[in-house]
Amino acid sequence: YRDLHTFELQAPTRIIEWARGSRVCVAGYGQSDGNEILQLIPPPTLLTKETQGLCPERDFKVECGGFSQRPVYSLKYVPDTSFLVTSGPPDSSLQVWQVSAEDSDIIKSVSPIETENDTGQSWAKIATISARAPWVLHGSRLDRVQITEVESRKNVYTAAFRGSEELSSLAFLDCNTLLLCCTTGRLCLADVRQPQSLVEAMSVPSAPCSEQWCMGTRHGAQGLEPSSQPVACLSNRGLLTLTDLRKTSEFLALAKARVPSPGSGAEFLCVSWAPALEGCLAISGFDGTVHVYDTQSWDSSGREAEPIFVHKGHAFGGAGGSGDPPLVTVHTWHLQKPRTLLSAASDGSLHVWDWVQPCGK
């Protein structure tokens, strides 16, 4: 490692979200009441774009917080606002939070966003954008996708899709284009200007019905079309696919991740592109590790890929509250530092780490 910071949270978390001012938001997912939502100030070394020398302060600091009466399975910061949006069981409604002014340490709950036919629906997957207005894209199934204006609670888009496939991921490609990923691995494109329109971008390779998938989209450089950025999909068997949305007749690449064993579910599956490192992605959710891969040499053979780095810190952190080995529940990349990632695990540990670049690379 070039650098490693650790922070112990009071409860397991499955959320790490960058907020304004390079703050980090985390939230608990326990089933009992009183799940914490915290906004943390990162260590000073993470607040500078360039790596600094020794720093006397190496810990995260809690800046403000609040409590959710339900488990938080998804949390998104609404860009250019003071709002956070969360979702979690037992239904597909959303909770809206406001980070208070600087003279307060409270993250307060404001009125929720209710959805129709909540009964029997799983928790909503969410994505946010502020290109036109503060919007949240949300839905638990393909026929339940909506966009709501966060402040006014006005519904600005309701999809008219057929099919009730469960969703695993949602993303704004731009202010008009949506990308939806079903747990079956089916990718679908939608246009907010045409609610009836739904284009199937790609289906994953033939696989067992029990296989579940999630996706990761990459934010392109300024001036680059979002659709030109590859979409990565990860299955609970460790299969990875890369798709170019401009040419969906074939995969850009197929690979098999070096995971210890096929996962039985996809609750904590996570795949994400490095925002400042070309062609690199990270995966987690199989055990107590995070794997980083360089995809630039991948082809369509589907052979096993060799990770360029494996973070094992959580695996050696001890057993979680249940006595089981810690499981990485989520990870995310630093927005400016190319090889810096944040990861959290089921034992409440939060790690920030940066690996040493190999010589000659």
Q: Can you say how many angstroms the Cα of residue 194 is from the centroid of all Cα atoms in its chain? A: 27
Q: Measure the CA–CA gap between 298 and 279, rounded to whole angstroms.
A: 10
Residue 46 phi, psi (nearest 5): -90, -10
For 217, half-sphere exposure in the C-beta direction (CA atoms, 13 angstrom radius) is 22
pLDDT over 90 for what percent of the chain? Answer: 55
Write down the pLDDT at residue 208. 56
Instruction: Report the percent of the chain where pLDDT is more than 70.
Output: 84
Q: What are phi and psi of 125, to 5 degrees?
A: -85, 145
Q: What is the pTM of this model?
A: 0.91
- pLDDT tens digit string along 316-330? 865 555 567 899 999
Q: What is the DSSP string of 249-263?
A: TS-SEEEE---SS--
Tell me how far apart the alpha carbons of residues 336 and 114 are, in angstroms, rounded to a whole number: 36
The pLDDT of residue 50 is above 90: no
Q: What is the helix (H) or strand (E) element at residue 297, kind and residue range?
A: none
- Classify residue 149 as exposed, middle or buried by CB count within 10 Å of its CB (0-12, 13-18, 19+): middle
CA distance 243 to 247: 8
Q: Could you tell me if 75 and 85 are in contact, meaning their C-beta atoms sit under 8 angstroms apart?
A: yes
Contact (Cβ atoms closer than 8 angstroms) between residue 320 and residue 345: yes
**Range with lowest mean pLDDT among 67-76, 124-133, 198-207:** 198-207
Q: Are 71 and 30 in contact (CB under 8 A)?
A: yes
pLDDT in tens, 212-257: 999 999 865 444 565 567 999 999 999 999 998 888 778 899 999 9
pLDDT band at 315 (very low <50, low <70, confident <90, very high): confident
**Burial profile 336-353: b = 16 or more Cβ within 10 angstroms, e = fewer:** ebebbbbbbbbbbbbbbb
CATH number for domain 3-46+59-354, candidates 3.90.79.10, 3.40.50.2300, 3.40.50.460, 2.130.10.10: 2.130.10.10
Query: 183-212, pLDDT tens digit by residue?
Result: 998 898 888 988 777 777 666 665 556 789
For residues 328 and 311, give the distance between their C-alpha atoms in angstroms, rounded to a whole number. Answer: 10
Please give the pLDDT value at position 224.
52
H-helix or E-strand spanning residue 41: strand 35-41
- Paired tokens of 142: 């393909």
Domain boundaries in the chain? Answer: 3-46+59-354
Phi/psi region, residue 31 (left: phi>0; alpha: psi -120 to 50; beta: rest), is alpha
- Rounded distance between C-alpha atoms, residue 308 and residue 225, angstroms: 28
Alpha helices in 30-119 (DSSP H): none
Query: 210: closest CA among 241, 184, 180?
Result: 184
286 and 329 Cβ atoms separated by less than 8 Å? no
Pairwise CA distance, residues 268 & 285, whole Å: 5
Q: Are 78 and 150 in contact (CB under 8 A)?
A: yes
* Maximum C-alpha span of the chain: 57
What are 99-106's contacts with CB under 8 Å, separation 24+? 99/19, 99/39, 99/64, 100/64, 104/64, 105/63, 105/64, 105/65, 106/64, 106/65, 106/66
pLDDT in tens, 1-48: 888 888 998 888 888 999 988 899 999 998 666 899 999 998 887 766
**How far apart (Å, rounded) are the C-alpha atoms in residues 235 and 213?**
4
